[in-house]
Amino acid sequence: MLFHRENLRVALGQFALPQFRLRSRSVSRPRAPIALTATGLLIAIAVLLPIVYLVIRSVGAGEAASEMLFRARTGAIVVRSLVLVVVVTAGSVAIAVPLAWLTTRTDLPGRRWWVVAAVLPLVVPSYVAAMVAVAALGPRGMLQGALDRIFGIERLPAIYGLPGAALVLVLLSYPYVFVTVRAALRRMDPALDEAARGLGYGPGRTSLKVTLPLLRPAIAAGALLVALYTLSDFGAVSLLGYETFTWAIFIQYETTFDRTAASALSLVLIAVALGILLLDSATHARGRYHRSTSGAVRPVSNLSLGRWRWPAAIGVGTLVTSAVIAPLGVLCFWVARGASAGGVEFPWPSAWNSLRVSLLAAAVSSALALPVAILAVRFAGRFAAFLDRATHMGFALPGVVVALALVFFGVNFAAPLYQTIALLVFAYTVLFLPAASGAIKTSLLQVNPHVEEAARSLGRSEVKTILQVTLPLITPGILTGAAMVFLLTMKELPATLILGPLGFKTLATEVWSAASEAFFAKAALPAIMLVLAAGAPTAFLLLRESRRASDDGEGRSPGGNGA
Amino acid sequence: MWRTGAAALLAMLAIGGIAGCGGRSEETLVVYSGRSETLVAPIIKQFSDLTGIKTEVKYGDTAALASTLLEEGAKSPADVFFAQDPGGLGAARPLLATLPSSIRGRVPEWASALDGTWVGISGRARVVVYNNRVLTEADLPDSIAGFTDPAWKGKIGWAPTNGSFLSMVTAMRQVWGEDATEQWVRGIQANGPRSYSGNTAVVQAVGSGEVQVGFVNHYYLHRFLAEQGESFPARNYYTRSADPGSVLLIAGVGILKSSKNKANAEKFVEFLIGTVAQQYFASQTFEHPLVGGVVRAPGIPELSNIKRPEIDVSQLSDLSGTQALLRRVGAIP
């Protein structure tokens, strides 16, 4: 037994348990190729444009801003925002990690379909989710109506405030964690699990002591996105009446049309986001997460859930029902109710526009996320850390701020591009880059750098090594990131409205246009189309991927066609 | 990997291609509309069909568009700014040209800018929406001031961050003065009002019985009735006394100084204050027309039958004081 334990430590120590590896590996890292650093620099400039704009606008911020900044209430609002961030992030991790594990590592019935459904909340605009939540769960909502008929319950407790806002945001944003964790689980070296099992750990203990620690970077990457997204959300908090800092910024724009004060407040938001990012890097485990050998990518044998199989399915089903099926149901009900009152038209051109710009945004963001991720993982240093943090700024800012910044730069310095698809896609990239780079980083951490070193020692240049060896190995991460950017762009509203070409409509703008004027039926149809149009490519991508993995018993050579 | 590379390349090409064909003729009239597409697209299309003048519209939130115009400055592609409220037009005022007197003369003076930079197009009245299953009009106080009575505790819904609500409070400050307005807000707060994000949410909540009364614009109810039928259990109440609870708010339009297409822009504004467009706003969007000779939608009273306070609507663009007041008493964040 003692012998076994010792073996286990040798097998696992340097991967799962940070205290076992480290300083000894202070081998001098290779310098980043100039081309990579130069690209990184350009990206940094691009993503920092909104902050430059905010600084320019804040200069001469008048009394209104300073009065607002330095009153006691502002502190309280910042605290409220942080409370929401913590609750939503914790809730998302608590839901997403077990869900990812159940759908990748067990014999959960119908798990491939659950995966597709579980990702879809990413595409639901937060104000739509909040509207649906109020209609369904409000004190006198649909649920109350049903309970009234059965039990005579006349009123449900109000969902407004923190509980409602947190519920809606958790259901909307757990997929950020789910997607990255799932990708990590699928690429994880099964040898580690098998070693633990072989050496006497039970399945539960293996998951807790081996699998979970190895998932840390993936969980952190997803959680970071959830935290920053929560900070920037306006739709859910305003509809559910929970005062946050972003809401305060909006009120500044909406009611006093004071760009200066709004910009100064946005800089505070940036400071809060930076705090979250620093906290995130402080908690990073610096362990290694890749496989020890150049072993094949092969799936871990699935754990049999036994008598827990159906309870687990019911749990997952409940989640998917509340996050996806119930909102769709409410939307369908609105369409049906409105259809009897008047015609309902399918906005096909808008659907096409949504797909088009979302695919473009996914492609461009993935392309730009690659150098960011490679620098961050392979050439970690001050510049890489700075670049990585800079890319997260857009994600934490309300879309309207980023859009106005690009109006400023577009009109003054890039007039021919102003109000074109090109500038719009650029805006999406600034907003959503970290969603792509996070997934790629997670994937890259799981690739053994020795493989790259081998390629270099065999005469490949740095750039060729990246293109021919690294890229093929991290394709799943690239696709995951692209899918997230695609879904985020599908629902993006403020930048689309402000920066889109004249007369440019997407499904998200159609929903907003009707919903803001209380035309529920008109709003519901494009909202349903939004979910379906986003769901189809996602399903294709995810199902194709899992089919390939299950056909992949033999595994592929890790160098792909490059080695 | 080649696939990824090829995809990125294709994307770049596609962007270049799309960006290349972005040119638009000088003749096309560019409208920035803070009014929603659902409301105004049909009438803008009708303008194009009748005059042959091509239009391109950027829809958005009035405040966001005003900010966009301010960022664009003299380089703005916009010719016309169609805003939901005087606040948005007021913010963009340095960029707006003075309208010709032929246009200004046709809109009532109280519904236009003093300096002639914009005119009102249609009106929406502030009303009290009430659930008619639990209340009748007789249960409601003569003035909106009456809702500070403790009897209304837990029964009120409002949307304190909504632009129209802020305009109403601005009207209160003009009519009642600063102190009385603050007292009113504190009185309502003492009754524990349920805060909603906007008018739609308030009407929805009144209809569902979550609250019994709400302070909103009149036309949301008519949309609910049109979609859900007359059985939707809410109705509008125009206050019996002429107080700010029934103030008429204005959506208006202005022409950008930087417009190179002013002749067509003026034709557009003339069209909006003409009978065809006014009739459209009356019957299709359930608003109050601002010029005569128009038939109203059923259930919408004549302006002359609404007891309205004597105030200068264009002055309602001063919202900073209102915001400061609401912040001071803690009604908004």
Q: What pLDDT score was predicted for residue B188?
A: 95
Tell me the pLDDT tens digit for each residue of A361-373.
Answer: 999 999 999 999 9
| Among A430-434, A471-475, B166-170, the range of highest mean pLDDT | A430-434
Q: Which is nearest to A61 in space by CA: A258, A256, A272, A253?
A: A258
Q: In B, residues 84-113, which contact A (CB 8 Å cutoff)?
A: 87-88, 90-91
- The stretch B78-99 carries a mean pLDDT of 92
Contact B22 A239 (CB under 8 A): no
Best CA proximity match to A124, nearest among A530, A537, A539: A530
Q: Averaged over A239-243, what is the pLDDT?
A: 85
Supply B276's token pair. Answer: 């065809």
Cβ separation A140–B229 shorter than 8 A: no
A3-7, A61-65, B209-213, B324-328: range with highest mean pLDDT? B209-213
Closest Cα partner for B155 from B115, B194, B97? B194
Is A132 at the interface with chain B, CB within 8 A? no
**Which residue among A250, A258, A421 places its CB closest to the CB of B15?**
A421
Name the least confident of A335-339, A479-483, B142-146: A335-339
> Which range is most confident: A100-114, B220-234, B270-284?
B270-284
Using an 8 Å Cβ cutoff, are A256 and B318 in contact? no
**CA B44, CA A1: separation in Å to the nearest integer?**
82
Q: Do A518 and B91 touch (CB under 8 A)?
A: no
Q: What is the pLDDT of residues A296-336, one digit of tens each?
A: 556 566 777 778 888 888 888 888 888 888 888 888 888 88
More confident residue, B214 or A533: B214
Most confident option among A86-95, B86-95, B224-233: A86-95
Closest Cα partner for A269 from A252, A235, A246? A246
The residue with greater pLDDT, A204 or A2, is A204
The three-class DSSP label of residue A509 is helix
Residue A13 binned pLDDT confidence (cut-offs 50, 70, 90): very low
Q: Between chains, do B210 and A415 touch, taking CB under 8 Å as contact? A: no
- Asked whether the beta carbons of residue A241 and residue B197 sit closer than 8 angstroms, the reply is yes
Helices (H), A59-141: 63-69, 72-105, 111-119, 126-137
Q: Within an 8 Å CB–CB cutoff, is residue B229 touching chain A? A: yes
Q: Do B60 and A498 touch (CB under 8 A)?
A: yes
A514 touches chain B (CB under 8 A): yes
| A516–B15 CB contact, under 8 Å | no
Structure ipTM over 0.85, yes or no: no
B71 contact residues in A (CB cutoff 8 A): 259, 404, 407-408, 411
Taking the Cβ of residue B15 and every Cβ of chain A, the question of whether any pair is shorter than 8 Å is answered with yes
Q: Do A255 and B209 touch (CB under 8 A)?
A: no
Contact across the interface for B161 and A247, Cβ inside 8 Å: yes
- Which sign, positive or negative, has the C-alpha torsion A497, A498, A500, A503? positive
Task: Determine what percent of chain A is predicted with pLDDT higher than 70.
Answer: 85
pLDDT in tens, A390-414: 999 988 898 899 999 999 999 999 9
Mutate to test the interface with B, among A255, A370, A423, A499 (most CBs of B within 10 A): A255
Average pLDDT over residues A342-351: 78
- pLDDT, averaged across chain B: 87
Closest approach of B198 to chain A, Cα-based (Å): 8
Residue B203: pLDDT over 90: yes
Contact B57 A503 (CB under 8 A): yes
Q: What is the pLDDT of residue B137?
A: 93
Which range, of A3-17, A408-422, B121-135, B296-310, averages the lowest pLDDT? A3-17
Please state, rounded to an integer, the average pLDDT across all residues of chain A: 81
User: What pLDDT does residue A331 have?
Assistant: 85
Pick from A69, A251, A512 the residue to mutate for testing the B interface (most B CBs within 10 Å).
A251
Distance, in Å, from the CA atom of B325 to the CA atom of A432, rounded to the nearest integer, reads 37
- Closest by CA position to A447, among listed A559, A522, A366, A371: A559
**pLDDT tens, position by position, B285-329:** 899 998 888 888 887 888 778 887 777 776 776 777 888 888 888
Judged by DSSP in three states, B218 sits in: coil
CB contact under 8 A, A516 and B11: no
Which of A83-92, A258-267, B270-279 is predicted least confidently?
Answer: A258-267
Query: Angle A126-137/A507-515 helices, nearest 10 degrees?
Result: 40
pLDDT, average across residues B202-229: 91
Closest to A346 (Cα-Cα) out of A357, A333, A331, A335: A335
The whole-number pLDDT of residue B46 equals: 95
Residue B6 contacts A where some CB pair is shorter than 8 Å: no
pLDDT of residue A12: 47
Q: What is the Cα–Cα distance from A175 to A124, expressed in whole angstroms?
A: 12
- The amino acid sitting at B1 is M
Q: Spell out which residues of chain B touch residue A412, defining contact as CB-CB under 8 Å.
A: 75
